[in-house]
Amino acid sequence: MTDVLSLSSADVADLATPVDYVDAVRDGYRQRGSGAPAQPRSKFFREEPPGMLTSYAAILPDTGAMGGYMYAAGFGDSDAWFVTPLFDAESGRLLAILDGASMNPHKTGAAGAVAVDELARADADTVAVIGSGAQARGQLRATATVRDLESVRVYSPTPENREEFAADFEDALAADVEAVGSSVAAITGADVVITATRASEPVFDGDDLEPGTHVTAMGQYSTDARELDARTIERGTYVPDLRERATFDSGEFLGALEAGVVTEDDVHAELGEIVVGDVPGRTRDDEITVFDSGGTGIETVAAAYMLYERATEEGRGTPLEFSPASEALTGD
């Protein structure tokens, strides 16, 4: 019998800043670039009642942790449930079980921020955000830790949502934050474009991107849905979080493949290869770069272990009794 720490959303909500998440996730991708194992998500669907069960995992040897995400959405509940099991990478012992919902926008935003730091121009200070939900907020909070932002423009189809987003970040950031009435108005003149939507069709025309723009797309991870059009992928230096994802569940890249404007050789590198320095990121000021963020176990394990360590130091969480298989199966 061993004690496993159960961490609720309330336990971890105030344990880390956006900078903390970015630092942890950057190190996770560094480990991935050095060979740490990670795979794209697995997804299972049910039609009636409609729902999805998905999971993904990674091992971070330098961190000393492994684990991932499992979550269910729908199935008649009209909600989602996120569970993060965290294991010791050497012994295999279960360390903690986290309610993964509250950290989700932070760790996903951190992955986007690492990509911005590696792929956007050093002088990038104008950001367009398309989307106004929790994930869009997480992306902007994290991005503001890697660039000195002067201007942010947000667009989402519901005026009240984009106005509320702008008002909230006008107070939170040392930048001018404005709600605008179209995606074109948002991306015109932007150095960084972030898409965090539930749209199944492209949210802007790739011909409207200006030279030197960096794009982070993180709202879709399905073969039949895409936030970016084929033109954006064609024009951009394409970097996914995992190389395997490009042809597995990236609607953006698969759509460009189907259109015949790119080949599989046009995957420039995955993010970890750039972080570790094996492949260069941006090489020209006028280069358009694209980060395709579908979510991986890399940022999940990196963030979860950071939260676990801090919770342990502060005495947070609830111990749960778990039996190792040697005891549970034999009764010894």
**What CATH number belongs to 2-104+297-328?**
3.30.1780.10
Q: What is the mean pLDDT of the chain?
A: 94
| For residue 243, pLDDT beyond 60 | yes
- Domain definitions of the chain by residue range: 2-104+297-328, 116-292
pTM for this predicted structure: 0.95
| For residue 325, pLDDT beyond 90 | no
How much is the pLDDT for 219? 73
How much is the pLDDT for 221? 75
| For residue 1, pLDDT beyond 70 | no
Query: pLDDT grade, residue 319 (50/70/90)?
Result: very high
Pick the CATH number of 116-292 from 3.40.47.10, 3.40.50.2300, 3.40.50.150, 3.40.50.720: 3.40.50.720
| For residue 311, pLDDT beyond 70 | yes
| For residue 9, pLDDT beyond 90 | yes
Query: 3-state SS of the chain?
Result: CEEEEEECHHHHCCCCCHHHHHHHHHHHHHHHHCCCCECCCEEEEEECCEEEEEEEEEEECCCCEEEEEEEEEECCCCCEEEEEEEEECCCCCEEEEEECCCCHHHHHHHHHHHHHHHHCCCCCCEEEEECCCHHHHHHHHHHCCCCCCCEEEEECCCHHHHHHHHHHHHHHCCCEEEECCCHHHHHCCCCEEEECCCCCCCCCCHHHCCCCCEEEECCCCECCECCCCHHHHHHCEEEECCHHHHHCCCHHHHHHHHHCCCCHHHECCCHHHHHCCCCCCCCCCCCCEEEECCCCHHHHHHHHHHHHHHHHHHCCCEEEEECCHHHHCCCC
Other C-beta atoms lying within 10 Å of the C-beta of residue 199: 17
Tell me the per-residue pLDDT of 49-74, one tens digit each, with 9 for 90 and over. Answer: 999 899 999 999 999 999 999 989 88
| For residue 106, pLDDT beyond 60 | yes
